[in-house]
Amino acid sequence: MISGFDHVVVAVRDLAAGVAAYELLLGRAASAPTERDGAASVLIATDNIAVELMAPVGAGETARRLSAAIDEGGEGLKSLVFATADIGRLHRRAERVGLAPGSIGENAAGRSFRAGAERTHGVRLFFMQRATPLQAERAGATSARGLDHVVVRSPDPERAAALYGARLGLDMRLEREVRRARLMFFRCGDAILEVVHDASITDGRDRLWGLSWRVADAAAARARLAAAGLDVSEVREGVKPGTRVLTVRDGTCGAPTLMIELSPKRD
């Protein structure tokens, strides 16, 4: 029932600054801003997911929640939105497996609902059926092609596996240990949700953490970002054989970010 990722939400204090940062980071143009319930937002679409940048600009419940999230954890990745072609069916599924879904809402973009945060262990998860599929503009040679994986950090990996695998129905493709950290990888459309065991989390809540973006040429992407003044690492071999990665250390509005060049053969 989940067909992939629809978008992620990155909360920022200043929308114009966030837009400038992510247009540079991804090499993609943002949509015109919209405003609802005291929050302004834009979308930046890639080939398989969009980034929604949101900032509080007035009064309203959405603005209040957004401000509280920024005050609590700073700017950064705040919500993950899954895509579906049948929101009603997915909502019934969410009810049956105990995700305490809210009612289905509707606006010009489509229909959506939210899972109860206590049932998703603190991660804000939404589900959306778009009225019209997002269309990404043609990417430049050094632009981000799309999302490779999104990272969730959890103090309880078995609990996370039950949520993303058993309840949400994502296909668990791999479990491995890297540098004494337990990693689990769940296929979601043509991207991956990665769960990382983080024993340092002491409040019991999972954390929506970071993003990895696909690029055609890691060295060329690094050169573009470095020339624009961003702090980027050298290109290095990735954990997965045949990949090359670089870390973007700033200009990401608080979301830990990698750029990854994939090997020609990808499972």
Q: What is the pLDDT of residue 135?
A: 87
Q: What are the distances in angstroms from CA 223 to CA 98, 107, 113, 218, 228?
A: 47, 40, 40, 9, 9
Q: Is 241 exposed, middle or buried (0-12, 13-18, 19+ CB in 10 A)?
A: exposed
Choices 3.40.440.10, 3.90.79.10, 3.30.750.24, 3.10.180.10: CATH for 146-261: 3.10.180.10
Query: pLDDT at position 267, please?
Result: 46
pLDDT for position 159:
97
Q: Is 265 a residue whose pLDDT tops 80?
A: no
Query: What confidence score (pLDDT) does residue 263 get?
Result: 80
Residue type, 217: D
Start and end residues for every CATH 3.10.180.10 domain found in the chain: 2-130, 146-261
pLDDT digits (tens, 9 = 90+) for 201-247: 999 999 999 999 999 999 999 999 999 999 999 999 998 889 999 99
Q: Which two tokens stand for residue 14?
A: 């200043």
| Overall fold of domain 2-130 | 2,3-Dihydroxybiphenyl 1,2-Dioxygenase; domain 1 (3.10.180)
Question: pLDDT value at position 144?
Answer: 97
What's the gap between Cα 90 and its chain centre? 20
pLDDT digits over 21-75, tens only? 999 999 999 999 999 999 999 999 999 999 999 999 999 999 999 999 999 999 9
Residues 6+ apart with CB under 8 A from 26: 44, 46, 51, 143, 144, 213
Within 10 angstroms of residue 64's Cβ, the number of other Cβ atoms is 14
> What per-residue confidence (pLDDT) applies to 237?
94
Contact 187, 109 (CB under 8 A): no
- Tens of pLDDT, residue by residue over 162-192, are 999 999 999 999 999 887 889 999 999 999 9
What's the rounded mean pLDDT across residues 153-169? Answer: 97
